[in-house]
Structure 1
Amino acid sequence: MSAVEAFDAVDLIRTKRDRGELSTEQIGWLVDAYTRGYVADEQMSAMTMAIFLNGMTRREIRDMTMAMIASGERMDFSGLGKPTTDKHSTGGVGDKITLPLMPLVASFGVAVPQLSGRGLGHTGGTLDKLESIPGWRAELSNDEMFAQLRDVGGVICAAGAGLAPADKKLYALRDITGTVEAIPLIASSIMSKKIAEGTGALVLDVKFGSGAFLQDIERSRELARTMVELGEDAGVATSALLTNMNVPLGLTIGNANEVRESVEVLAGGGPADIRELTVELAREMLALAGQADVDVEAALDDGRAMDTWRAAIRAQGGDPDAPLPTAREQHVVVAERDGVLVRQEALPFGIGAWRLGAGRARKEDPVQHAAGIDLHAKPGDAVRKGEPLFTLHADEPERFARALEAVEGAWTIGEPGDEIQDGGPLIADRIGR
């Protein structure tokens, strides 16, 4: 005889449909019953749509997050004997910041457990980028991860299936039901994994603008505030930076080419925007971990961060000196006249790189590590007729036509003195401690 269930899913759906509040016990039951298959996908689809339309209170979002954490294991890094700090980005075009950031922060003796994912859609995942390094592996056991945190100081690896399994199931459902953008569901999804990961401090890089997941800055601000509150409620020191994703980050969009650019930053060079955001996020992470007055930029310039990067790549079977893959074919787009690049939209370039093979449409699709776009100019740069604006890279030349279609009209060459349409400063706001 089966056990009697504490609640009925239809009653809970009606409550949320009619703008009511769900109790802590109801939310706990719902997440558990869905994870074990008692609540059907159709019912959870109705619930996610009701949440998307009617929202949740701060208490409901906290209960949802804690119930998703309770669906799996929680990691504990207290045995490391040093503070832990992590960063999560909501993702964007050319966002490779995790790659230089992890070794930079770890070079100060703070442990950085960066559990990452693979990309779906136009944003390539951190693991996809790193897998372009010959020999590097993303899957580590908990023992291997702890050993690397102890010996090297930082790790970027795949999150284990044991962390917040309810989120994995719910995320897949949101993806096919038009409810991905619901702020309570985004916040509980991200924060359930980050809190379960066991980090002591967390910095959130919440994007806004044309290439961001949430384009409107006020919606991004609401998401940042919600996630900071969830972190603080769970005892994790949390803050957020609101960052501009109207223009691609850096000069590369793809996988191998983004690794190449990250290594340039670790060598003390690289594009100014990548360096600026890496440094600001590192300062924020270190301050939350108790190291507020350190010279972050010095660690990029004197090779300490690079040493940690090389050690971390080697620890995961990679060869930091091996040549990265290059595409078999390339197509150069040149400036049609002299002038100044005044506009460069992020999203079309992200879609263009995806169509070249840098991203995936389905989870099972392979990623072409050498595919992508190299930008030769950013808004504000002078350009000359006939000189390269950007280069497309692909293994199959038949991909170029659709990529060019995606970026058509995504940039404007104006006159010196014209307004630069970049959406403002790179870091627009800071939320939290």
Structure 2
Amino acid sequence: MDTKGLLIFPKWFVTTPLELPKIGFGVRVLGDKIDSIASRDELLRKFPEDEILEKPDQVLLPGFVDAHTHLYGILAHGIPLSKAPSGFMPFLEDFWWPLVENQLDSVMINAATDWNCFQMIRSGVTSFYDCTEAPNALPGVLIKQLPVVEKWGIRGTLSFEATERISNSNGDLGLSENVDLIQLSKSKNNLVTGLMCFHTTFTCSESFIMRTFELAAENNVLTHMHCSEGHYEPQEMLKRNGLRPIEYYDQIGVLGPGMLVSQCVQIDQNEIKLLAARNAKVTHMPLSNCEVGGGIAPLPELVEAGVTVGLGSDGYITDFFEVMRGAFLIHKASHCDPRVMPANQVWHLATAGGADALGLKNVGCIKEGWQADLMLVNPKLPTPIEAHNLYDQLLLYCNANDVDTVMIAGKLRKLDGEVLNADSQALRNKVQKEADRLWKKSA
């Protein structure tokens, strides 16, 4: 058993953003966990043989958790369009489905995964959940993606977004893809896991939805779906059965702690109450909701109701400081109230909130016995950082370039501003090649 640890000494130390940051504390990392938190003098006295990482001007924080992304989405950035989609459903029907998702193959997805794992580590993301929909890449797409994620040493949850929009048999292949990945990842017992996933009520039948939840229960994992990302789904559900989507899920008996529901943009107060009462988990994507014209999700209301909420990039912008800025600013504007979504609350959603939404144990805070998923931020700002303003200063004025060091499960993945064992130009060349191939296929 390894008894030699690593002592990390920053200037500022954050256990959780729900508490004020502290000065003069350090942490001891042993194996994949936080072994001890104490003053500098005490750690040096107790562990004189440990290695030391001195970062005297920096802030030690929990790593970010990107609780919802589509890693393949990078391939569509800048794709040629004859006209812009006129709304959320035209975005899907005229653009995203035919020009992107239906054209994807494993080579494209793996190139995008490789690039995004690099970018996530670069920006301080230590855990993520990825949702792949590529109906013509089945079967085997997740099994091929798995080793790409594993080599980066990042904590990941992978899934395939099963849907019956192509055919019933294609939907079955999607469900099987999730089960295969879940079982394989459990046998490996490493940082990458899986969950069950289907698309929405408007691309999946009730029997298909029920079967997804049954498979999740059999494999002891969460079930993920998109919900009410725009007006279309709630309007269609009201026409079909007089219920809004969350009300429908509650009626058929699947709304509960095993549900991870993303977007939740066009939901009403009763649906918020149901999400809270049933302890369902929600992920919020402030920037991509704007991009697709879906609207602005009721994030402050969800938080106030006590719903577990995490933040996600949605594969749109990977720099998680940008995602936090979206959650921090957009809701202030929509509520005409600068007190809405204070900085420390947004930091919580970006760390422990995301970990809780994904069901990650002992992730998202820096506490003794918890996973050593950390980042050190080196803010070079013109005004002082103090305990009362640290969360605001970092959220508003830092970005991925200010992340100096990243540790995941006790292993350094970025140090002194450089992602370790990464050739960024080679990764960029590979993803550009696959983006070009996608664009030509969809032309």
TM, length-normalised to structure 2? 0.28
Between Structure 1 and Structure 2, the one with more strand by share is 2
TM, length-normalised to structure 1? 0.29
